[in-house]
Amino acid sequence: MDPEAFLEIANQISRLQMYPFFELAHCLIMCMYVKEDLAGGAHLFSRKHPLACWVSCMLSIYGGAMFASFLLGEPILSSFKNQNSLLLATGAWYVIFYMPFDFGYKVFKFLPIKLVLALMKEVIRCKKVHDGVVHAAKIYPNGYVIMIIIGTLKGNGTAFLKVLERLLRGVWTPNAIELIQMSFPTKACIAASIIFVLDKKTDIISAPHALVYFGIVIFFVYFKLSSMLLGIHDPFVPFENLFCAIFMGGIWDTLQRLLTPASKGDQSSVKTDTAKNGKTESAKKKE
pLDDT of residue 262: 58
pLDDT of residue 263: 53
Q: Cis ω on the peptide bond leading into residue 100 (within 30° of 0)?
A: no
pLDDT of residue 272: 52
Do 152 and 191 contact (CB within 8 A), yes or no?
Answer: no
Rounded Cα gap, residues 250 and 269, in angstroms: 24
pLDDT means over runs of 10, the chain (287 residues): 83 93 97 94 95 96 96 94 96 97 96 96 97 96 96 96 94 91 95 96 91 96 93 89 88 87 52 47 41
Rounded Cα gap, residues 20 and 9, in angstroms: 21
Beta-carbon contacts of residue 65 (< 8 Å; ≥ 6 apart): 78, 79, 128, 154, 157
pLDDT of residue 249: 85
Q: Which helix (H) or strand (E) holds 144?
A: helix 144-160
Cα radius of gyration (the chain): 24
Q: Which long-range contacts (CB under 8 A, 24 or more apart) does 139-143 make?
A: 139/72
pLDDT of residue 40: 87
pLDDT of residue 163: 94
The phi, psi pair for 140, rounded to 5°, reads -125, 85
Rounded Cα gap, residues 165 and 60, in angstroms: 7
